[in-house]
C-alpha cells in the first residue's frame, strides 16, 4: 500500500513539475540571430507574421523539438528554436580593433621563411609555379580590402529584406 502511494506521489510530482511541457512557466528568451522571423505555424512554409531583431526578448509559451511558440507584446507566433537563446547575445565587435600587439616575444616560428615567402607569393609547392600560371586568378589585395570593411547590422538587415521582395 505504501509503495502505491509513493509511486502515485512521484507521478504527481513529475506531472506537475515546472519542467513539464504542459505546465511550463513562461520564461524570457533572446533572439541570437541577426533577425528572427515569427511564423503563423511551426513550418518555414507558413506565413511570416513578424520579425524580431537580434537581442530582443520574447516570452516562451510552448516548446516543441525544433520550434518555440513565443509571445512579444500582443503578438505571438512560432520561431525556430535555433534562433533563440536563454541569455542575451554579446555585443559584437571587430577582431581588428586597431590595437597594436607586440607578438615578437613568446611567438614560435613555425614555417621556414622560404616556405612562407613562397606561399605569400602564390607558389604551388609541387611545381613551384604561381597560382595564375595554374589557372587560378587570385586577387589577394582586393580580398583583404573586402575583409577589412566593417559591416553595419542595419545595412545587413536592409540587404536581407531586399532579397525577400
Enter the C-alpha cell of residue 129. 609555379
Higher pLDDT, 115 or 164: 164
Rounded Cα distance between 50 and 67, Å, is 15
Is 70 exceeded by the pLDDT of residue 69? yes
pTM over 0.95: no
Closest CA to 34 of 163, 144, 146: 163
Higher confidence at residue 25 or residue 52? 52
Mean pLDDT across 86-114: 66
pLDDT of residue 18: 47
SS3 73: coil
Q: Which domains, from first to last, does the chain contain?
A: 21-85 (2.30.30.40), 116-152 (no CATH)
At 21, is the pLDDT very low, low, confident or very high (cuts 50, 70, 90)? Answer: very low
Amino acid at each position: 500500500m505504501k509503495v502505491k502511494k509513493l509511486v502515485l506521489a512521484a507521478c504527481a510530482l513529475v506531472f506537475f513539475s515546472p519542467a513539464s511541457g504542459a505546465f511550463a512557466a513562461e520564461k524570457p528568451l533572446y533572439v541570437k540571430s541577426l533577425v528572427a522571423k515569427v511564423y503563423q505555424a511551426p513550418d518555414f512554409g507558413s506565413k511570416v507574421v513578424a520579425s524580431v531583431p537580434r537581442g530582443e526578448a520574447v516570452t516562451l509559451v510552448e516548446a516543441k523539438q525544433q520550434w518555440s511558440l513565443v509571445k512579444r507584446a500582443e503578438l505571438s507566433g512560432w520561431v525556430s528554436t535555433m534562433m533563440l537563446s536563454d541569455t542575451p547575445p554579446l555585443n559584437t565587435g571587430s577582431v581588428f580593433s586597431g590595437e597594436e600587439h607586440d607578438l615578437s616575444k613568446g611567438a614560435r616560428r613555425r614555417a621556414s621563411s622560404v616556405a612562407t615567402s613562397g606561399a605569400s607569393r602564390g607558389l604551388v609547392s609541387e611545381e613551384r609555379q604561381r597560382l595564375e600560371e595554374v589557372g587560378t586568378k587570385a586577387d589577394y589585395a582586393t580580398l583583404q580590402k573586402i575583409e577589412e570593411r566593417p559591416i553595419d547590422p542595419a545595412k545587413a538587415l536592409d540587404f536581407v529584406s531586399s532579397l525577400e521582395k
